[in-house]
Amino acid sequence: MEHQQSITVLGGSAASSFADADKKSWPYLLKSELPETIDFRIETIGGLTFVRALNVLLDFPDEDLLILHFGTSIGWPVPVVKYGHRFGIDFTSEFGLHQPAFRSKKFLRKINQSFRMRVRNSIKYVLFGLGLYKSRISRREIVDQIDAVVHLASKQSKRIMWVQHQALQNRRIFVERRSYQKYYKEIISALEKYESPNFALVTLPDEFLVQENYLLDCIHLSEEGHRKLVEILRAAFRKFYSYPEA
């Protein structure tokens, strides 16, 4: 009996679409280009971290190819969660200080949205100065977490493609940009050692890092960004499969 090829995508919100149809996200676009005979599964989980991925990976045994797509989240104001909602910000959420993904179409809401964006950034500086806005995990823990994910994924899948997301930095405050770059370099350094015939690392090239490929929050991909990411993945995909020409 011929073996049915299986591919599973596991990613955070960066792998999903904020548009009306989720099928516009890159996993669905990629799936549409591949033969229907491939068992192609997609699992996206908002806020997916390396640690959270470990339990999810247990449900994906014996994959021919596992595609992982992780974002890079650096921190949130832990000690102030007791204050709850203030200034339209949910301090109990690790995403409370994230900027909105879409710009409002109404004039007054645009003004209000712009005001809230400035308030968020101002609060970040105050919290950072007080030592309350800091990274959720230590950079020293990143390597151990990545090692654990790769080790488990290698047990579950014959091949691994790791897509490392990168957010735009033009709307982040200085301390966030500085911290983000350090974390990103640490992650890439930890992943590069695994590159092999069975492990492909995919990063976003500099020319990809433009606003048209991202939503307003500079984190999640626009429809154009999802399409361009598929173009990037085609080259990496040929490392494992005979990819149909576009």
Rg of the chain (C-alpha set): 19
pLDDT at residue 35, as a whole number: 87
Residue 57, phi then psi, degrees to nearest 5: -60, -25
What is the rounded distance in angstroms from the CA atom of residue 70 to the CA atom of residue 58? Answer: 17
> What sign does the CA torsion over 16, 228, 35, 158 have?
negative
Span 201-222, pLDDT tens digits:
999 999 999 999 999 888 889 9
pLDDT at residue 76, as a whole number: 47
Span 4-20, pLDDT tens digits:
789 999 999 889 987 65
Which H or E run includes 175? helix 174-192
Contact 238/33 with Cβ under 8 angstroms?
no
pLDDT at residue 79, as a whole number: 43
User: Quick one: tokens of 165?
Assistant: 């997301």
pTM over 0.85: no
